Chains A and B, each alone.
Chain A
Amino acid sequence: ILDDPDLKDIDPTVLKHCHAAAATCILEAGKQKADLSAISTCLEDCKLDKERIEQFCCEYQKNKDALEILLGSIGRSPLHITDVSWRLEYQIKSNQLHKTYQPSYLVTLNVENSDSGSHPDVSFSCTMEQLQDLVGKLKDAAKSLERATQM
């Protein structure tokens, strides 16, 4: 905003104060999920005139959802699984053991770290039985989720 031609006549310090004040107000309103009447009351207490309050509230309403999404995404959480890749192979032999003849799965969980944006993917191998166990447990979790949403 310091480069905006419309604002160049105003003292930069004042501009910064205004910007900071507006930002704080918006973030607090977003954080508390305040409704429009609460915001209006607050602004009235700050002695803003009706027209300005209406303009502010109108703009706020337009951007409220985006603001909530942004605020909700800030914070620490465990590594987040975003996707999974798998590979099925049939083992025939190794130099230590011949005639193995066994299917084997290689599973990679694509993981995202919200803090550093890095991708510390996790790979592991498993037999068919182990994969069935894994899928079974994930399905239990999904069923639990479904039951929870119906309560």
Chain B
Amino acid sequence: KLNIDVDTVQHGLEGLSYLLTESSKLMISEIDFQDSIHVLGFSDELNKLLLQLYLDNRKEIRSILSELAPKLPSYHSLEWRLDVQLASRSLRQQIKPAVTIKLHLKQNEDQTAQVFQTDPSTLLHLIQQLEQALGEMKTNHCRRIVRNMK
């Protein structure tokens, strides 16, 4: 329907996707993008179209590229349940509280779920440790680094 042969279309598509992917990966500014494609000698209208295409799709391309980086399974969600053990085969008349946790993790489209148990004091310890972790980003040290990295 385009009246061009297959090879040209293919090359065109490859060129276009390379242009968009590289630009998105490097997160280049509008000006830099415009300067880069200027050398190709296209018409002003075409250049404007390409710039718009870049800006519109940049975010999505970047999020797809971020999936390619090496990574560990990531947190998906967590379910919990309170249990009290009343008896077992070896001991009757118990009152043993426990928290049962189901941790959902996700890695590259695969979801796994693992079941764990913990006692009340460990639970409180976990909460304390992780709250400390959350607080770290707000410290002066981290704030300074974030500021200077941009």
| Residues of chain A having any CB pair with chain B under 8 Å | 30-33, 68, 71-72, 74-75, 77-84, 86, 88, 90, 92, 94-101, 103, 105-107, 109, 111, 122-126, 128, 130-135, 137-142, 144-145, 148-149
Name the CB-closest residue of A to B69. Answer: A94
Task: Judge if B88 is at the interface, Cβ distance under 8 Å.
Answer: yes
Of all chain A residues, the one with the shortest Cβ separation from B132 is A86
Summarize B's interface: helix, strand, loop or mixed.
mixed
Contact at B129–A86, with CB atoms within 8 Å? Answer: yes
Write out the residue numbers on chain A whose beta carbons fall within 8 Å of the beta carbon of B15: none
Name the one of A75, A105, A125 contacting B90, with C-beta atoms under 8 angstroms.
A75
A74, A84, A98, A132: the one within 8 Å of B126 (CB):
A84
Q: Is the CB of A131 within 8 A of B73?
A: no
Least CB distance from B75 to A in Å reads 4
Measured CA separation A32–B89 after assembly (Å): 10
Most chain B Cβ neighbours within 10 Å, of A90, A130, A131, A138: A138
Shortest distance between the CB of A77 and any CB in chain B (Å): 6
B74 touches A130 (CB 8 A): yes
Q: Decide if A90 touches B118 in the complex (CB within 8 Å).
A: no
Which residues of B are found within 8 Å of A149, using beta-carbon distances? 97
Q: State which of A68, A74, A88, A142 has its C-beta within 8 Å of the C-beta of B136.
A: A88
- Complex contact A138–B130 (CB within 8 A): yes
13 more A-B residue pairs beyond the given contacts A97-B65, A128-B134, A148-B97, with a C-beta to C-beta distance below 8 A = A30-B91, A31-B92, A32-B92, A78-B115, A84-B129, A98-B25, A122-B103, A124-B72, A131-B75, A135-B127, A135-B134, A138-B80, A140-B80
CB atoms of B129 and A79 under 8 A apart: no
Q: Which of A30, A99, A111, A145 contacts B99 (CB 8 A)?
A: A145
Chain B residues near A74 (CB-CB < 8 A): 88-91
A69 to chain B minimum Cβ distance, whole angstroms, is 9
Closest A residue to B127 using CB positions = A138
B77 touches A90 (CB 8 A): no
Asked if B126 contacts A138 (CB within 8 A), the reply is yes
- Report which of B26, B97, B118 forms a contact with A81, defined as CB distance below 8 A: B118
- Bound CA span A116–B125, Å: 25
Q: Which B residues are in CB contact (< 8 Å) with A90? A: 142, 145-146, 149
Which residues of A are found within 8 Å of B101, using beta-carbon distances? Answer: 81, 141
Chain B, residues 123-150, CB within 8 Å of chain A (1/0): the string is 1111101110110110000100110011
B116: interface (CB < 8 Å):
yes
Closest chain A CB from B149 CB (angstroms): 6
From the candidates B68, B100, B124, B134, name the one contacting A132 in the complex (CB within 8 A).
Answer: B134
Known: A79-B115, A81-B118, A138-B80. A107 touches B91 (CB 8 A): no
